[in-house]
A and B are shown apart, each in its own frame.
Chain A
Amino acid sequence: EAGVTQFPSHSVIEKGQTVTLRCDPISGHDNLYWYRRVMGKEIKFLLHFVKESKQDESGMPNNRFLAERTGGTYSTLKVQPAELEDSGVYFCASSPGLAGVWSYEQYFGPGTRLTVT
């Protein structure tokens, strides 16, 4: 079974540009989460999808960040316009649920390292 995949693995952009990160969860997982780790600090929660709906977006830092989950499958996280402080590693995770299989474990992807110069 394929794990959580993220694309790209690394992105370098200039301040003011737009970047879109993609996450493909484990097939059949209804829950999808975005986290980020900035400058070696804690990994911080950004938002949580249940299928295509946003369950919790309390961690989104500001309106420059837009997340979508098309048809309850893959998700994208767009940063527009990017600022220097957005640099960090963005992780995506997924877990099952709503289908009779409740799981507390979240399975993480390898992350996308975003560098804003």
Chain B
Amino acid sequence: AQKVTQAQTEISVVEKEDVTLDCVYETRDTTYYLFWYKQPPSGELVFLIRRNSFDEQNEISGRYSWNFQKSTSSFNFTITASQVVDSAVYFCALSEAQGSSGSARQLTFGSGTQLTVLP
């Protein structure tokens, strides 16, 4: 069975601080996909990134960066120089490999981390 653990329930930082959101996952699959979604106060889930299990390269997108380490089954998310607009709930998720029908498998979510960035 798949499982995603986000141990940090709530994090509060002051603007311009760096913050790392932790994500640890469990799966028996050798091929899988990891995701991060952002849920701002408006409620929708906004897709941020997808990583394949066979690609351990870290990724940077502006102030966002992701550290994927298969050895520790972790997929951590760092926001550099945080801003008030970064305040949201962040979800880490995992899915199995693509099905033969061409459709993406269901997502298994962590419980989310509420990030509050104070001005």
Contact = CB atoms under 8 A, between A and B. Distances in A.
A105 B91 contact: no
A9 to B, nearest CB: 8
Interface in B66-112: 91, 93, 95, 98-99, 101-104, 106-112
B108 A45 contact: yes
Contact of A91 (B45, B95, B102): B45
A45 B108 CA distance: 7
Given A105-B47, A108-B44, A109-B44, A50 B111 contact: no
A59 B35 contact: no
Nearest to B5: A42
Interface in A71-93: 89, 91, 93
Contacts of A31: 103-104
Given A42-B109, A104-B50, A111-B44, A55 B101 contact: yes
Interface stretch (A14-22, A62-70, A95-103): A95-103
Contacts of A105: 35, 47, 50, 104
Nearest to A98: B102
Contacts of B93: 43
A102 B47 CA distance: 16
A56 B106 contact: yes
Contact of A110 (B4, B43, B47): B43
Contacts, number: 77
Interface residues of B, number: 27
Contacts of B102: 97-98, 102
A115 B107 CA distance: 24
B43 A89 contact: yes
Contacts of A108: 37, 44-47
Contacts of A111: 43-45
Contacts of A104: 33, 50, 95, 98, 104
A59 B109 CA distance: 13
Nearest to B3: A42
Given A35-B107, A55-B101, A104-B33, 16 more contacts: A31-B104, A40-B111, A42-B110, A43-B91, A45-B106, A50-B101, A95-B104, A97-B102, A98-B102, A98-B103, A103-B104, A105-B50, A106-B47, A106-B104, A107-B47, A110-B42
